[in-house]
Chains A and B, each alone.
Chain A
Amino acid sequence: MELTAKSAAELHTLLESREISAVELTKAFIERINAIEDKVKAFMTLTEESALMQAAEVDAKLSRGDKLRPLEGIPMALKDNMCTEGVRTTCSSKILENFVPPYNATVAELLRQAGAVMLGKLNMDEFAMGSSTENSAFHVTRNPWDLERVTGGSSGGSAAAVVADQAVFTLGSDTGGSIRQPAAFCGVVGMKPTYGAVSRYGLIAFASSLDQIGPFTKDVRDNALVMNAIAGHDPKDSTSVPYDKPDYTKFLLNDIKGLKIGIPREYFGQGIDTEVDKVLRQALATLGSLGAEVEECSMPHTEYAMPAYYLIAPAEASSNLARYDGVRYGYRTEDSEDIISMFKKTRAEGFGSEVKRRIMLGTYALSAGYYDAYYLKAQKARTLIKQDFDRVLEKFDVLVAPTAPTVAFKFGEKSTDPLAMYLSDVCTVPLNLAGLPGITLPAGFAGGMPVGLQLMGKPFDEGTLYRVAYTFEQNTDFHKAKPAFSGEVA
């Protein structure tokens, strides 16, 4: 097996036994990126030089005979909405094209302290608004399984880089499915942790009550290892929750006997592709055969999650994105007569069309006369959606659903119809509104494209999600399949 295809756990063993050096490993990844990046285009920025320096530090430690921590020397990359000191952070937007943060996001700092080697920053939908990474202001990222298809989004670069072996693991962010949907489209493991479990300090805000950072990995064990490094309370994030962080690898048991798994029937209704449905029914049968008690349940307010989300998220975004005014950082128009025209032109020239659409929608939903009808109504619907989860999770340990209603679609298929694009998040959005954790893992293929199985759990119970995911993975081979990079590069 190629070095770049191995998991963090496997590479850790090779590093510690000195079969490979950290510099050799980082060089192997730089070569891999150079070899296939013109096809995939997962990256926004590469940081080869600092990566090799970080790797050399790990080698120095090894030659002193020191033990390595689990992620030490492991090459990884971050979505380009996480601030990295001295490294350009664009949010894939023209308005931040030349923004160089003066500080590190907490997750970037934690991974640096854990000794992980940062290879670069990853492409995304502008300001994480989108479901295909077609909204990047700079370039699209292609799905390694079929280069004519999207990676999903908004963390498309994060998903593609892992499945294309351009990084051992990556981080993404999930506001309405932006980790889980691209992970499913690209056939990797993606975790959206409980709201408040991972610090958002230094994450460029989209919708603050929904945003959450999480890992993309090749398998479930690596995912737990990365969560060990990034989760935990952070005084710099006032929405970070103080809780007893467990060792997530302790949950990697190949045993789900007696666990209660609920199948919310609303997630398997209209709009789910029949081939995707077939793959998931098979996955449910597998979980049943492994000893879990699988039973149907009902979450009657599920259909209201999408309309509620598409009021709440844009409302929060319109407020968060007010800061891009051309004064303190980012792009400023060259053509302005006074301060108001400077604001208006800076924002008109700096933001792409989807970002403007959501700012408009959110501003409208919050404006005088419409607040009660739209924003307040959506927040009340959010309560009912959350209550659905609370109720079924009293009875079940884990809920199982599709991650996305279809496999990855072709470029341009949905990009002209905003509503059609929004609906590809229909299976992932409810969890963000409820603030709960969810993981997606490879469950099979439909028409040659990966299908993701979504597991949803109780607050701060990522551990049980890892246990069920690990058991499924140990008893199937879907995570071992590799993409062929087929299809024409358009």
Chain B
Amino acid sequence: MKISRKDVEHVALLARLELTEQEIEQYTEQLDSILEYAATLDRLDTENVEPTAHAVPLHNVLRADEVKSSIEREKALQNSPDAEEGFYRVPRIV
């Protein structure tokens, strides 16, 4: 087994996903078979191979530091599930 039920519970917490009992079981099984398949890569010798993060590497793409208009606050807030006086409202944090 590549992945255990405990791993799945831990990863679900990291990913902020509340899973049902049934999902935990199902994902344990399915992720295991996908990771088993991914282990095909172990056959590759990558000792001296550099990783590729992007096929077209571009570095430090910057624009001139000029003030430009951005989206208005009301427009930015219009899709919020809960907003008040120009702020997003969320359950109490501390």
Q: Which residues does A use to contact B, with CB under 8 Å?
A: 98-100, 102-103, 194-196, 209, 235, 238-239, 241, 301, 303-304, 306-308, 310-311, 318, 322, 325-332, 336-345, 347-348, 351, 353, 356-357, 359-361, 363-364, 367, 374, 376-384, 386, 418-419, 422, 433-436, 459
Contact = CB atoms under 8 A, between A and B. Distances in A.
Contact of A435 (B42, B55, B80): B55
- Determine the main DSSP class of B at the interface with A: loop
B38 to A, nearest CB: 5
Interface residues of B, number: 50
B51 A382 contact: yes
Nearest to A236: B63
B54 A100 contact: no
A311 B37 CA distance: 10
Given A194-B56, A367-B14, 19 more contacts: A100-B79, A102-B79, A239-B54, A241-B56, A304-B44, A307-B39, A308-B41, A311-B41, A318-B15, A325-B16, A330-B81, A336-B91, A339-B91, A340-B16, A348-B19, A357-B30, A360-B15, A434-B55, A459-B56
Contact of A331 (B31, B42, B81, B93): B81
Given A360-B8, A435-B55, A381 B46 contact: yes
A376 B31 contact: no
Contacts of A367: 11, 14
Interface string B23-47: 1000100110111011111101010
Contact of B38 (A326, A329, A359, A374): A374
Contact of B52 (A327, A344, A379, A459): A379
A401 to B, nearest CB: 18
Contacts of A381: 41, 44, 46
A268 to B, nearest CB: 20
B51 A327 contact: no
